[in-house]
């Protein structure tokens, strides 16, 4: 499983851009996942997954978190960016979020990890979120590798 979570400037723009309302809790959840991944904090990601979480190929919460712990331990640094964000509310307690996540990282230089692990990847994520009490949680996630989008030439 390769789970890469993104940088999320939209929430920051809402919080700092003179907007007087609170940031959307759905988008704030995605930003908190991005920050946790960039901090390589698998427990912080786990705290944002529902107990009944299901990922690609029937990955459950325990397996997803264990995989994240291994990946985070293998990298010295992780940098993430997110683009093409779409969020829609199904109901007051359910939402769907999709985005493109770009990962860049520096693998640890022990045991040849730096030659084995990829320094970058681009993934498409589709998340199903649900409110559990007062918190929003990720209840399902699908992801797949995609081709990077070329930057326009100046």
Q: Is residue 153 part of a domain?
A: no
Let me know if residue 3 belongs to a domain: no
Mean pLDDT of the chain: 81
pTM, two decimal places: 0.77
Q: How confident is the model at residue 117 (pLDDT cuts 50, 70, 90)?
A: low
Structural domain includes residue 151: no
Give 105's Cβ-side CA count (13 Å radius): 30
- Parent domain of 46: 9-145
Is 90 among the domain residues? yes
Tens digit of pLDDT for each residue in 32-71? 998 999 999 999 999 999 999 999 989 999 999 999 999 8
Q: How many residues does the chain have?
A: 154
Cβ contact 137:129 at 8 Å: yes
**Both tokens assigned to 148:** 């990077």
Place of tokens 């779409």: 86
Give pLDDT tens digits for 80-89: 888 888 999 9
pLDDT at 42: 96
Return the pLDDT at 29.
Answer: 92
Could you tell me which residue, 96 or 154, shows the higher pLDDT? 96
Residue 10: C-alpha distances to residues 37, 45, 115, 120, 138 (Å): 17, 20, 34, 22, 19
Q: How many domains is the chain partitioned into structurally? A: 1
Q: Does any domain span residue 1?
A: no
Q: For residue 7, give the nearest of 24, 40, 26, 32 by alpha carbon.
A: 32
């Amino acid at each position: 499983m390769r789970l890469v979570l993104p940088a999320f400037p939209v929430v920051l723009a809402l919080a700092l851009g003179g907007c007087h309302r609170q940031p959307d809790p759905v988008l704030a959840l995605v930003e908190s996942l991005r920050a946790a991944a960039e901090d390589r904090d698998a427990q912080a990601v786990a705290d944002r997954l529902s107990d009944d979480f299901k990922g690609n190929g029937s990955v459950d919460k325990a397996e997803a978190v264990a995989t994240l712990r291994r990946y985070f331990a293998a990298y010295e640094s992780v940098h993430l960016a997110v683009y093409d964000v779409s969020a829609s509310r199904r109901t007051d307690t359910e939402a769907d979020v999709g985005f493109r996540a770009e990962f860049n990282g520096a693998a640890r230089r022990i045991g040849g990890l730096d030659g084995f692990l990829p320094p970058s990847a681009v993934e498409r994520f589709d998340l199903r979120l649900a409110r559990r009490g007062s918190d929003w949680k990720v209840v399902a996630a699908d992801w797949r590798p995609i081709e990077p989008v070329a930057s326009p030439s100046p």
